[in-house]
Structure 1
Amino acid sequence: MDPNDSFSTAIETLASSRPLSTKQARIAVAAILDGLAGEVETSAFLTALHVKGETGEELLGAVEAIRERMIPFDSGRSDAIDTCGTGGDRAATVNISTGAAVILAACGVPVVKHGNRAASSTSGSSDVLTELGVAVEAEPAVLRAALDELGVAFLFAPRFHPGMKAVAPIRRRLPFRTVFNLVGPLCNPASPAFQLVGAPRPEHARRMAEVLAKTATIRRAAVVRGEDGLDEVTLAGPTEVLLVDGGRIEPLAWSPADFGLPETPATDLRVEGPSESARLLREAFRGEPGPVRSYLLANAAAAIWVVEGTSLPAAVERAALAIDSGDAAGLLERWAARSHGAP
């Protein structure tokens, strides 16, 4: 069948509020990545899928298409974790998952973080890392060296997913998050064994957990969603958790008290852009008390829990020590230097 006919059929199906099969979704997303779909058609597809709401099969098809075309990264690690949210929660917060990645590495938990520039948020992970001095487009050999020596690497999505380049301008023009926000965290080129993923809506969290449960390389993962809509562990109230372990999905719930941290609204985390986000992260790494520190501790603790099963309060203490000892700040500076090729 002509790929253009398949793509048009997919748009018509979605516009009729009918779901695509995994195969249909894979073919449609493949057409986008291979440059076979025009901008208007791609916009129509992404809009129709967003309005209908993505199913687990559609997400799986999109993930398959993206992973078939990605450039894999050999991390050499079987114990690494990725920490990221989907974006699109409209909270405009400081880059919590990126800051948590630095703390995790300082705790001795290796992180292979996959990320991109902001598509539907104020500050993407690559935006804030650039402000923090990290070269986000470093060569794979430099990334591997940083991971081996410091326990952290950032995999810039466009470098490893060249097919995404064509769709990036379209994503920026659309006033909502797209399926690529949801599947991005599921397509880490390093295929880490552990993941902590944030999603802003319960139906998105469930679908992402379903895909992670079918991902052979995943040993244990958690999809988290704050009841306030934050795509991170929240301290404004309960956090809904979907634990993926051994291909099974178990629903859990966390409260700020489970971490031993005070209830704190996410509105205290709002930033206007990556420079402000970087400044707040640096202040937190210097030991500045306040909401940014609390949220960093909670999310770093959640990731430690995913990888090691450590109790949340004990994990918070470990993360706090990494900050207060200066290890997190020191690691960030070494990472920045190493990413530019410095020994």
Structure 2
Amino acid sequence: MVLLIDNYDSFSYNLYQYLGELADEITVIRNDAMTVEEIAALKPTHIILSPGPGRPEDAGVCIDVVKKLGSQIPILGVCLGHQAICAAYGAEIVHAKRLMHGKQSEITVLQDCPLFRDLPEHLLAARYHSLAAEESTMPEFLHITAYTADGEIMAVQHATEPVFGVQFHPESVLTPDGKQMLRNFLLYTGKVRTDGVQMISAAIKKIVDKQDLSYEEAYGVMNEIMNGETTPTQNAAFLAALSTKSAKAETIDEISGCAAAMREHATTVQHDYDVMEIVGTGGDHANSFNISTTSALVAAAGGVKIAKHGNRAASSKCGTADCLEALGVNIQQDPEKAVSLLGEVGMCFFFAQKYHTSMKYVGSIRKELGIRTVFNILGPLTNPAHPRFALLGVYDESLTEIMAQVMMKLGVRRGMVVYGMDKLDEISLSADTKICEFGNGETRTYTIAPEDFGFA
């Protein structure tokens, strides 16, 4: 449940509308309706402090919420909520350099901040404020993550706690990337493990008992794996159990949680292109050639910017990296060279091992298991170029809608998830293909047949 604390401001309605498109359950309370203890008893997964009139001391329970719950629950403060966060940690709130009400300005963001993941370094934001945090009074642990050209603080992030603040309004139409920021916040879980107990052991037991993992559990386990905190035996048990838990695929929460943790451990590539990925999950046991790789070459020749991401074979005979290397491609090229190729020839390749160094903890295990694991699904979701468009082939029909939902949650703007009904993770030439097309928060499922395109 996402808790929105309303500081008696009409912008709370806008926040609620956006959140309603991103979260299943939202509770709204006024800033003087509950104590911190009563709020904690609600057990929210995330807390958002709304904009509002006045100064931080006028924001009711907000400052106490930051002080007492900031180490436990992810918190996002917007405008007055942002100022309440800064004030809670000792910063002074002073008159802003410029009076900004209903105006749009360019801000510069730090892309390593989870709020701004997958967003450009420079973006437009709506501002409605006459006060701002004074930089000289900011504590060292409260990092500035966005600012204006004249040096006004536009966003902050706590160094060790899941607390974020934005002086601007992500819920305004004048902030085009605002919804993505809110989505990024809701995907962020902060510190999952607080008692020193490994999550993977409990997760394995839960999976063996045929129970689904929550988003937080999946995120926590993958975080442990990527940090090298688990043993090879635990990793193998977790991957095997998760892949055989039921006849159906992993759940949206399980996939999203694992993907979010894996993305946080990956190297991100900076570029200015609207790129597309064409990729299959593998694991269909069809022993087909590298169809997505050859399709990517054709699409790039047609003018589409393709950022291909892949690895050596895990559950098949030949992975994307194996194929391209055999063709003479330097799969070990550095990020700068890859991006330059994207501009020059319209296609580049990111070798997964180079960008996901934490995969060293599971690479050999995947090969030894020789079965499809959740990593077949995660690969297409963790492309370091963060493509905004995707054509994804899946190994199981039940994954078409699931993966469409997951990809939208992770910021892919538009794409298709396809499954060849003759058990191919590709569009088939010999049977119908099920397609789940997604974009603008909506999905549409239909089938196509080879005959529709002149193949008898």
TM, length-normalised to structure 2:
0.56
User: What amino acid is aligned across from residue 238 of structure 2 in structure 1?
Assistant: F
More off after superposition, 2-11 vs 35-44 = 2-11
Query: Is residue 2:230 matched to residue 1:37?
Result: yes
Contact 1:59 1:207 in 2 (8 A): no
Write the distance in 1 (CA, Å) between the matches of 2:333 and 2:259: 25
The match for 1:129 is 324
Contact 1:4 1:36 in 2 (8 A): no
Deviation at 1:143, TM superposition (A): 0.6
The match for 1:57 is 253
User: What amino acid is aligned across from residue 351 of structure 2 in structure 1?
Assistant: F
User: What amino acid is aligned across from residue 116 of structure 1 in structure 2?
Assistant: N
Contact 1:219 1:245 in 2 (8 A): yes
The match for 1:324 is none
User: What amino acid is aligned across from residue 271 of structure 2 in structure 1?
Assistant: S
Write the distance in 1 (CA, Å) between the matches of 2:346 and 2:455: 27
Query: Is residue 2:333 matched to residue 1:138?
Result: yes
Gaps of 5+ in 2: 1-193
The match for 1:252 is 446
The match for 2:434 is 240
Deviation at 1:206, TM superposition (A): 2.6
TM, length-normalised to structure 1:
0.74
Higher normalized strand content (fraction of residues)? 2
Q: Give the one of 178, 181, 202 matched to 2:373.
A: 178
The match for 2:413 is 219
User: What amino acid is aligned across from residue 30 of structure 1 in structure 2?
Assistant: N
Contact 1:50 1:179 in 2 (8 A): yes
Q: Give the one of 188, 196, 200 matched to 2:383.
A: 188
Q: What do residues 102-127 of structure 1 show as CA deviations (whole Å, max 9, x unaligned)?
A: 11111111100111111001110000
Q: What do residues 288-325 of structure 1 show as CA deviations (whole Å, max 9, x unaligned)?
A: xxxxxxxxxxxxxxxxxxxxxxxxxxxxxxxxxxxxxx
Contact 1:213 1:249 in 2 (8 A): no
Write the distance in 1 (CA, Å) between the matches of 2:422 and 2:439: 26
Write the distance in 1 (CA, Å) between the matches of 2:431 and 2:271: 36
Query: Is residue 2:220 matched to residue 1:27?
Result: yes
Instruction: Provide the secondary structure at the position in 2 that maps to 1:212.
Output: helix
User: What amino acid is aligned across from residue 161 of structure 1 in structure 2?
Assistant: H
Instruction: Provide the secondary structure at the position in 1 that maps to 2:253.
Output: helix
Write the distance in 2 (CA, Å) between the matches of 1:180 and 1:4: 24
Aligned residue runs from structure 1 range 64-213, under 5 A: 64-78=260-274, 80-213=275-408
Instruction: Provide the secondary structure at the position in 1 that maps to 2:212.
Output: coil
Contact 2:314 2:370 in 1 (8 A): no
The match for 2:118 is none
Query: Is residue 2:240 matched to residue 1:47?
Result: yes
Max Rg structure: 2
Write the distance in 2 (CA, Å) between the matches of 1:4 and 1:125: 38
Q: What do residues 195-237 of structure 1 show as CA deviations (whole Å, max 9, x unaligned)?
A: 0001011122232112012122x12110000001100000111
Deviation at 1:76, TM superposition (A): 1.7
Deviation at 1:4, TM superposition (A): 4.8
Higher normalized helix content (fraction of residues)? 1
RMSD: 1.2
Contact 1:4 1:37 in 2 (8 A): no
Write the distance in 2 (CA, Å) between the matches of 1:179 and 1:10: 14
Instruction: Provide the secondary structure at the position in 2 that maps to 1:72.
Output: coil
Aligned residue runs from structure 1 range 6-25, under 5 A: 6-25=199-218
Contact 1:3 1:36 in 2 (8 A): no
Q: Percent identity?
A: 39
Deviation at 1:3, TM superposition (A): 5.4
Deviation at 1:144, TM superposition (A): 1.2
Instruction: Provide the secondary structure at the position in 1 that maps to 2:398.
Output: helix
Write the distance in 2 (CA, Å) between the matches of 1:4 and 1:179: 23
Deviation at 1:258, TM superposition (A): 2.3
Instruction: Provide the secondary structure at the position in 1 that maps to 2:244.
Output: helix
Write the distance in 2 (CA, Å) between the matches of 1:207 and 1:173: 28
The match for 1:302 is none
Gaps of 5+ in 1: 263-343
Instruction: Provide the secondary structure at the position in 2 that maps to 1:202.
Output: coil
Aligned length in residues: 260
Write the distance in 2 (CA, Å) between the matches of 1:261 and 1:246: 32
Instruction: Provide the secondary structure at the position in 2 that maps to 1:112.
Output: strand
Query: Is residue 2:391 matched to residue 1:230?
Result: no
